[in-house]
Amino acid sequence: MSSPYWEERGSPWEFDPGPPRNRKWPRLFAEAPNYRAFGKAVTGREEFRWHFGPMFYRGRLGDNQVKVLIVGQEGAQDESLSHRSFTGGTGGRMQNLLNHLGITRSYLFMNTFVYPIFGQYDGDNRLIAQHPDSPVRKHREELFDYVVARNDLQLVVAVGLAAKESIASWVESHGGTADPGALHEADASVIRPGLRLVGVLHPGGAGKGGAVTRIKASFVAAIEQIEAWSGVEPGWLPVDDDGARQPAAAYTYSSDPIPFRDFPYGSPWRLGRGATSSNRKDSQQSIQLFAEGGKYRNKGHRLRYEGDASGTDDGYRADPGDLAYEPPKSKRHYDKGPGSRFARLLQGGDPSFPWPDFNSFGLGYNPSLGTGPIYRGRLDRPSILVLADQQSHDDLFTTRALTGAGGQHLQAFLAAAGVTTSYGILRVLPVDTMADDVADVAAAVDSAEVRALHAEAVGRAEPQVLVFAGPMAQRLAPHVNPDGLPSVAIRANNQTGVLADWRAGLGLLAGLTYQRDDQTPPFTYDGERLQIPRRDLPFGTLRWQGTSGDRALQPKRGASFSYEYYKYVMPDWADDLDPSPLSPSEQQAADELRGA
């Protein structure tokens, strides 16, 4: 199986499970300073684009997996969607440089700021980035130091002025000196013996006259410097097993796609294909993703988004210290992915169980978005396995199945049945069909490929009880339960009469035998909605995501729905939040910076 959207990226069943839980990474990321409040305290205005949260890294976080650290300035909207650094246009340029050096895996990307900034890097945000008392600088250098502590780090590449100054500051914090304009001359052995530094111009400046020539020259100079170091010390910076180093003379300034292994499982294939694939809208409150055929800022395409995506915080519950626009800080739960038994199967990558060509049934699905949001929960011997119809477009952005309003109601249904963790959810089709003709969707569900894949998934999962939620799931039901497991059919949340139907379904579940997480479940349902548990969502997911009803919208172009654009909207209640208070140490630092 292959796809033109996989070229030079590996396969979508390769993925980043998130930071290892037996190392300090999750805690260090959770200890990010209060960027929003600190910026306002220092300058009196919003310095950071906080709505879609921070992005901490991209690449390897395992021990002794990193030879090269790439440091930039900040992320942008693609990074906000992927919750990973350097996944937009600049990321593609740097991926090409790494590939040229033969470094295909042993890298880690980080930034000066974990939040995007407003405007350019200068003045006040420069002070926030580099002042010795700034918690932003202290936290950044703690991350860098931990990279060194867990790896045989040999090279740091600073991308742009902010990064060059950040690396120079890091050298100074270890007792050395460094000129941001000549990092290759710095003695980085104060950080780690054998470590070397180079800087390049930021590809984001390519829109200025003559800038591309200067940027390319800086990349070539960096490659030449690396060649010189390698010539003096041949064992320094070896290529990765599947890499090959090319000479500086052969370098071409271009973009390479970002490997699937750098993204959470189920991420849209559109992200990371070497160029920017999204844009901010609605005064920072939303981000629009455009698929193949779409345009940046939908240039030339007149779109009309209908419906109310304002949302409410019904069911939202946060732990003390959490911020709605960051991942959890105290209970740092996240989903590592579906595991090796399911990762390839659910992407249609098992040669015996491929997904069909969904467009052949008349579906409008855009193939560049992939087949990612197919599951949620725990698929290995769950008490209840739910096969469910698609309920919203949120799944595209969360990369997990049933995370919008329908999924939040289903979460309450499962809790009422006494199952709070030991459940799995499979979406009947892994592609968007909400605007498609019902007959076309039914034809896809009836296909031999869809039936066979789901039957195999159910067999591998070995659930105790099956729940079929929605008409398409019930259509599939006779073909995926050959062992005659106990099963219950319920309506999808967007169907009429769902309240009475779900109550009846709970009555049936009450009479079945299965392992319950809650030994005294109520088996009652009054229409409530619960947020999607953080353990169901990949690392980096913000607290407001998976709450507040449906957050994603599909627009119309003329009279028809467009499959080239989708918009993800922060709920109004989160957008209206004031900055949280600074800690005493952060307040003291802000006072010092104001007087600097």
Angle in degrees, CA 207, 213, 215, rounded to 5: 75
Predicted local confidence at residue 291, as pLDDT: 96
pLDDT tens per residue across span 200-230: 999 988 766 679 999 999 999 999 999 999 9
296 has a pLDDT exceeding 90: yes
Which distant-in-sequence residues (6+ apart) come within 8 Å of 164 by Cβ? 158, 180, 181, 183, 199
Instruction: Report the candidate in 7, 9, 1 with the shortest Cα–Cα distance to residue 261.
Output: 9
Predicted local confidence at residue 448, as pLDDT: 98
Predicted local confidence at residue 567, as pLDDT: 97
Predicted local confidence at residue 1, as pLDDT: 62
274 has a pLDDT exceeding 90: no
At 596, is the pLDDT very low, low, confident or very high (cuts 50, 70, 90)? confident
Angle in degrees, CA 339, 531, 515, rounded to 5: 55
- What pairing do the DSSP bridges indicate for beta strands 286-290 and 278-281? antiparallel
pLDDT tens per residue across span 456-506: 999 999 999 999 999 999 999 999 998 899 999 999 999 999 999 999 999
φ, ψ of residue 521 to 5 degrees: the values are: -70, 150
Predicted local confidence at residue 208, as pLDDT: 64
* Mean pLDDT (whole number) for 294-313: 92
Give yes or no on whether 18-278 and 335-537 have one common fold. yes
pLDDT tens per residue across span 186-205: 999 999 999 999 999 999 88
Which distant-in-sequence residues (6+ apart) come within 8 Å of 351 by Cβ? 1
* Mean pLDDT (whole number) for 226-238: 96
Residue 207 class from Cβ within 10 Å (0-12 exposed, 13-18 middle, 19+ buried)?
Answer: exposed
Average pLDDT of the chain, as a whole number: 96
Predicted local confidence at residue 290, as pLDDT: 97
* Mean pLDDT (whole number) for 255-267: 98
233 has a pLDDT exceeding 80: yes
pLDDT tens per residue across span 108-134: 999 999 999 999 999 899 999 999 999
What does 508-575 look like in DSSP terms, one character per residue? HHHTS----SSSS------S---PPPGGGSBTT--TTTT-SS--EE--EETTEE-SSEEEEE--HHHH
Q: Which helix (H) or strand (E) holds 408?
A: helix 405-416
Predicted local confidence at residue 130, as pLDDT: 98
State the architecture of 335-537 in CATH terms. Answer: 3-Layer(aba) Sandwich (3.40)
Q: Which helix (H) or strand (E) holds 155?
A: strand 155-159
pLDDT tens per residue across span 545-557: 999 999 999 999 9
At 595, is the pLDDT very low, low, confident or very high (cuts 50, 70, 90)? confident
- SS3 category, 62: coil
pLDDT tens per residue across span 44-94: 999 999 999 999 999 999 999 999 999 999 999 999 999 999 999 999 999
Domain 18-278, what fold?
Uracil-DNA Glycosylase, subunit E (3.40.470)
pLDDT tens per residue across span 305-351: 998 789 999 989 999 999 999 999 999 999 999 999 999 999 999 99
pLDDT tens per residue across span 244-253: 999 999 999 9
pLDDT tens per residue across span 355-376: 999 999 999 999 999 999 999 9
Cβ atoms of 465 and 514 closer than 8 Å: yes
454 has a pLDDT exceeding 90: yes
Give residue limits of the domains in the chain: 18-278, 335-537
